Chains A and B, each alone.
Chain A
Amino acid sequence: DSGVTQTPKHLITATGQRVTLRCSPRSGDLSVYWYQQSLDQGLQFLIQYYNGEERAKGNILERFSAQQFPDLHSELNLSSLELGDSALYFCASSASNEQYFGPGTRLTVT
């Protein structure tokens, strides 16, 4: 158990819908990272928050957004969903250079 929690584990929704994925980092970790793992693109970095502020952006679509709250948990919002958004979405947290991943949320868009 990495200490990073993600909810929900599985999510099935229809095209055009909006969903929110939630992540709680390990106790004391200020950084939260979101990654997407798909068959087409492999593992890709989406976005990073550090102590409530956006720190780095990767290959994140404009339809996607994220935020980190004062209690350090983070949410990834995915809107106008398309079939190609089906993927495993990971959250990771770190206090130093090592990152620990949550169990992931498997999103299926039908």
Chain B
Amino acid sequence: AQKITQTQPGMFVQEKEAVTLDCTYDTSDQSYGLFWYKQPSSGEMIFLIYQGSYDEQNATEGRYSLNFQKARKSANLVISASQLGDSAMYFCAMSPYNFGNEKLTFGTGTRLTIIP
């Protein structure tokens, strides 16, 4: 079974600072995918970034990067130069890397608040 742990229920960060959201995972699978989603107060789930377990380089998407440390089983999200619009819930998730069976297991989320 796969498990995701997010230990930060809430974070407050000053605007324009960088922020790191923690995520650790547990799985016995050799192949898996790691994801981060953003959920603003409006409720939709917005895909941010993906990292495959065999990817040697950390994934980046604009201001988002995923700090993947396989030996530590961690997949932290780094947001550079935070903006007020980054205030939201952030969920880390993982899935098995089996074609046609990619159900996601989610963490409990971190509520990020950006302070002007």
Contact = CB atoms under 8 A, between A and B. Distances in A.
Chain B contact surface mostly: strand
A-B pairs with the 7 shortest C-beta distances? A101-B45, A43-B106, A45-B103, A97-B33, A103-B44, A50-B100, A56-B103
Interface string B97-116: 10011111110110000000
Interface residues of A, number: 25
Contacts of A98: 33, 35, 47, 50
Interface in B6-48: 33, 35, 37, 43-47
Given A42-B109, A101-B44, 13 more contacts: A2-B46, A48-B101, A50-B101, A88-B43, A90-B45, A92-B45, A97-B95, A99-B102, A101-B45, A101-B47, A104-B43, A104-B44, A104-B45
B47 A97 contact: no
A55 B99 CA distance: 11
30 contacts: A2-B44, A2-B46, A31-B100, A33-B102, A33-B103, A43-B91, A43-B106, A43-B109, A44-B106, A45-B104, A48-B103, A50-B100, A50-B101, A55-B101, A88-B43, A90-B45, A94-B102, A97-B33, A97-B50, A97-B52, A98-B47, A98-B50, A99-B35, A101-B44, A101-B45, A101-B47, A103-B43, A103-B44, A104-B43, A104-B45
